[in-house]
A and B are shown apart, each in its own frame.
Chain A
Amino acid sequence: MSGSEFVPLSLTPLLIGVFAAVACALPGNFLLLRRQALIGDAISHVVLPGIVVAFLLTGVIAAGPMMFGAAGAAVVAVVLIELIRRLGRIEPGAAMGVVFTTMFAGGVLLLEQTDTSSVHLDVEHALYGNLESLIWLDATGWASLVDPVALSYLPPELSRMALTLLGVLVFVTLFWRPLKISTFDEGFARTLGIRTNMLGLALVITAAIAAVAAFDAVGSIIVIAMFICPPAAARMMSNRLEGQVGWSVVFAVVSAVMGYVLAGYGPLWLGASDAVSAAGMIATVSGVLLAVAARFGPCRLRSGAPAGV
């Protein structure tokens, strides 16, 4: 394929997909090890009411207020889950289930009650995202990458996602040691003077920011899949945290690229004429990777011993 076709139509969605996948997979590693893997699931459900409320308050579909609303909803959900868990002495899974389904139902209801027919805001969009539509029409070929005029027309999601990824990277690198220690041995971390509660909260907030940014660009289904599948597959590949994080990034990138390519071109190879959902395909590919890792990964067993020993 030539650059004049690839750069405007596929480069930006591909990059956004990769950035989103990696930004979600990085905190996902720690959430997985801390048995909080379903936080991503809960956050991606409660984002909907946040976005709808932001739209109702401001009356515009703009990235700023929507991300603010989504982040607010995520915080409300985390607080509510904790509150119900403590006040009602209910196990965390059930508390989570109560909160996110209710908030999602509230979001759907608000959406139906308000007249959003004139704007592009619907449940399906929130779930699938619209990765395919994030094209860069002003590019003419590879040369556009150094052309400042064309660059200024890059879809804003790209820079936002890149910034988010940078933020996640900074967080993980800065807090690598405390995160690692508190993930594996919270008691020991506390004796070292690490404020594990604050660190746990910071991790959840980082995950929420990554989720909300990715959600805006690629829909909630990728968010859940990328929080869990690449880290889970990486867990089968290595017994060391460094190895696991490295593998998870590899898996995330591979899922994003392969998923996008399969969704965009797979049907064409099979003789069909239209592409299928890229978000769904990326999630599917990550699931296939997980299945392969779960079947053949060297560290897939619970004891952590290499298979066959």
Chain B
Amino acid sequence: MLFDALLLQLGYNATLVAIGATLLGVSAGITGTFLFLRKRALVSDAVSHATLPGVGIAFLVMVALGGDGRNLAGLLLGSAVSAGIGLWCLNWLTRNTRLAEDAAIGAVLSVFFGFGIVILTVIQTLGVGRQAGLEGFLLGSTAGMLWNDALVIAGGGAAALLLIVLMRRPMTMVAFDPEYAAARGISVSRIDMAMMGLVMAVTVVGLKIVGLILIVALLIIPAVTARFWTERSDLVVLLAGVAGGVAAYVGAALSASAPNLPTGPIIVLVSFALFALSLLFAPNRGVLAAVLRHIRFQRQVHLRQGLLAVAQEQLIYEPLTLRLLRRHGLLRADGVPTEKGRARAAKALRDEHRWALVRSDQSHEAAAAMYDGLRDIETVLTADQIREIDTLIGGPKEVSA
């Protein structure tokens, strides 16, 4: 069943939803990346909640004009307008009052959403009878998706992607260093506005599939996921698009494969699963990589200190050090160093002396800064330099009896 769904074999509606969701996921992931890099991820929360009154008002207007009231394009237009007003309020509050951005986000989000609910109850009491679809915008409803709806979603998503391709460089610059961007003659406020406009477009397009509460997840989670895998911004953008697309596709397929699996939440959960995997297993930034790095570092320190102790004929009691020395064949079971152990220990002690000289010599300042107690001196100095230092240390001296 799941394979059928993944291969788009589950009928017309499921295929339509899967394709639409994938397009949405890709454009949301890519748009969200810039938002995330700009450290304004939660602005999307305000934008998405601010769409609700627009949906309601658009419905009322269309009914008043004698129309169907459920025309998706009309509803989306209304939601875009009210999201735009919400965004404007958000910007006005942060710029012209002392409120911080998070307070402004919360204020816009709750007030617009509350007002939207008032309008929804008005629609209910009007008894128009066909308003059932409007609640679907809260959590998304893909069951009755039509070809036209899919076209609207595909068109919106494609337009957003095109705009991003055109504006990727200024947007990246603003995200990382707004002052520099301003110095280069880029209007930061205009780019910010464009970024928010894109977020708004993606939100509006995604209302039908995942609903206004969960579209935030599609904007934030893929970007955070992608950030784990690379340090290059263009790759983060691409990976976020892939992560969003995969999550949306798999989520849509999963939800089509069994009853009672609402599309929006499933997509979000799949997206979170990708995030969790990245958090744990990503190279370099992942938790597992960090743990491995820590263990490797710990072993290096213990081994080095153990060797120095062997060289100075001190007794070693620390169990981890003992275990490491034995495992490397440097120490016998009875605690006596092996031939190899003696050699490595002598080398370690000699390196320590070399380092001490390097660090006391002003002319080796740059090399001395690399000292951390673990680094091999050969990786810092050339063979010639080491030989020079060795002449300072000198050979073995006579020991007085």
Tell me how far the C-beta of A39 lies from the nearest C-beta in chain B, rounded to whole angstroms.
9
Q: Which of A256-303 contact B (CB under 8 A)?
A: 263, 267, 272-277, 279-284, 286-287, 290-291, 294, 297, 299-303
- The residue in chain B whose Cβ has the minimal distance to the Cβ of A233 is B107
A94-B36 contact given A108-B139, A227-B106, A277-B117, CB 8 Å threshold: yes
> Bound state CA distance, A287 and B107, in angstroms?
7
- The residue in chain B whose Cβ has the minimal distance to the Cβ of A99 is B272
Q: Cβ of A300 and Cβ of B97 under 8 Å apart? A: yes
- The residue in chain A whose Cβ has the minimal distance to the Cβ of B210 is A105
- The residue in chain A whose Cβ has the minimal distance to the Cβ of B267 is A105
- Write out, one digit per residue, whether chain B residues 110-139 have a CB within 8 A of any chain A CB (1) or not (0): 111111111011100100000000010011
Tell me how far the C-beta of A262 lies from the nearest C-beta in chain B, rounded to whole angstroms.
9
Tell me how far the C-beta of B306 lies from the nearest C-beta in chain A, rounded to whole angstroms.
31
* B21 CB–A CB distance under 8 Å: no
Contact of A105 among B39, B105, B110, B268 (CB under 8 A): B268
- The residue in chain A whose Cβ has the minimal distance to the Cβ of B211 is A108
Q: Cβ of A102 and Cβ of B217 under 8 Å apart? A: yes
Tell me which residues across on chain A come within 8 A of B285, comparing CB atoms: 88-89
Tell me which residues across on chain A come within 8 A of B113, comparing CB atoms: 221, 224, 280, 283
* B315 CB–A CB distance under 8 Å: no
* A35 CB–B CB distance under 8 Å: yes
> Bound state CA distance, A300 and B45, in angstroms?
25
Contact of B39 among A88, A91, A290, A301 (CB under 8 A): A91
Q: Cβ of A105 and Cβ of B214 under 8 Å apart? A: yes
Q: Cβ of B98 and Cβ of A280 under 8 Å apart? A: no
Contact of B109 among A35, A41, A267 (CB under 8 A): A41
* A163 CB–B CB distance under 8 Å: no
Tell me which residues across on chain A come within 8 A of B266, comparing CB atoms: 105, 109
Q: Cβ of A35 and Cβ of B100 under 8 Å apart? A: yes
Q: Cβ of A284 and Cβ of B214 under 8 Å apart? A: no
- The residue in chain A whose Cβ has the minimal distance to the Cβ of B95 is A302
A283-B98 contact given A41-B45, A90-B224, A105-B217, CB 8 Å threshold: no
> Bound state CA distance, A128 and B217, in angstroms?
22
> Bound state CA distance, A101 and B210, in angstroms?
12
Tell me which residues across on chain B come within 8 A of A281, comparing CB atoms: 114, 118
Tell me which residues across on chain B come within 8 A of A283, comparing CB atoms: 110-111, 113-115, 117
A224-B42 contact given A88-B228, A97-B217, A105-B265, CB 8 Å threshold: no
Q: Which of A170-226 contact B (CB under 8 A)?
A: 221-222, 224-225
Q: Cβ of A224 and Cβ of B224 under 8 Å apart? A: no
> Bound state CA distance, A96 and B217, in angstroms?
10
Q: Which of B212-237 contact A (CB under 8 A)?
A: 213-214, 216-217, 220-221, 223-224, 227-228
Among B106, B216, B221, find the residue whose CB has the most chain A CB atoms closer than 10 A: B106
Q: Cβ of A38 and Cβ of B120 under 8 Å apart? A: no
* A87 CB–B CB distance under 8 Å: yes
Q: Which of B61-103 contact A (CB under 8 A)?
A: 89, 92-93, 96-100, 102-103
Tell me which residues across on chain B come within 8 A of A294, comparing CB atoms: 92-93, 96-97, 99
Tell me which residues across on chain B come within 8 A of A232, comparing CB atoms: 99, 103-104, 106-107
Q: Cβ of B224 and Cβ of A280 under 8 Å apart? A: no
Q: Cβ of A224 and Cβ of B106 under 8 Å apart? A: yes
Which one of B146-154, B168-176, B190-198, B256-264 contacts A? B256-264
> Bound state CA distance, A135 and B370, in angstroms?
74
Q: Cβ of B213 and Cβ of A104 under 8 Å apart? A: yes
- The residue in chain B whose Cβ has the minimal distance to the Cβ of A288 is B111
- The residue in chain A whose Cβ has the minimal distance to the Cβ of B111 is A287
Tell me which residues across on chain B come within 8 A of A290, comparing CB atoms: 107, 111
Contact of A123 among B92, B118, B138 (CB under 8 A): B138
* A165 CB–B CB distance under 8 Å: no
- Write out, one digit per residue, whether chain B residues 261-285 have a CB within 8 A of any chain A CB (1) or not (0): 1101110110110010001000001
* A22 CB–B CB distance under 8 Å: no
Count, chain A residues at interface, CB 8 A: 70
Q: Cβ of A127 and Cβ of B279 under 8 Å apart? A: no
> Bound state CA distance, A232 and B40, in angstroms?
20
Contact of A236 among B97, B105, B214 (CB under 8 A): B97
A229-B107 contact given A38-B102, A102-B268, A105-B268, CB 8 Å threshold: yes
A299-B98 contact given A113-B260, A224-B106, CB 8 Å threshold: yes
Contact of B111 among A38, A41, A225 (CB under 8 A): A225
A35-B97 contact given A96-B42, A281-B118, A287-B111, CB 8 Å threshold: no
A284-B135 contact given A90-B224, A101-B217, CB 8 Å threshold: no
Write 24 A-B pairs (CB below 8 A) sorted by A numbering: A37-B100, A87-B279, A94-B39, A96-B42, A97-B44, A101-B220, A102-B271, A105-B265, A105-B266, A105-B269, A108-B262, A112-B262, A128-B117, A128-B121, A221-B110, A225-B107, A225-B110, A235-B103, A274-B125, A276-B125, A280-B114, A283-B114, A287-B107, A287-B111
Q: Interface on B for A, CB 8 Å cutoff?
A: 36, 39-42, 44-45, 89, 92-93, 96-100, 102-107, 109-118, 120-122, 125, 135, 138-139, 213-214, 216-217, 220-221, 223-224, 227-228, 260-262, 264-266, 268-269, 271-272, 275, 279, 285, 287, 290
Beyond A38-B105, A94-B36, A97-B42, 16 extra complex contacts between A and B, CB < 8 Å = A35-B103, A93-B41, A94-B42, A95-B224, A101-B217, A101-B220, A101-B268, A124-B135, A224-B110, A225-B111, A232-B104, A235-B103, A276-B118, A282-B114, A287-B110, A294-B96
Q: Interface on A for B, CB 8 Å cutoff?
A: 32, 35-38, 40-41, 45, 84, 87-91, 93-98, 101-102, 104-106, 108-109, 112-113, 123-124, 127-128, 221-222, 224-225, 227-229, 231-232, 235-236, 263, 267, 272-277, 279-284, 286-287, 290-291, 294, 297, 299-304
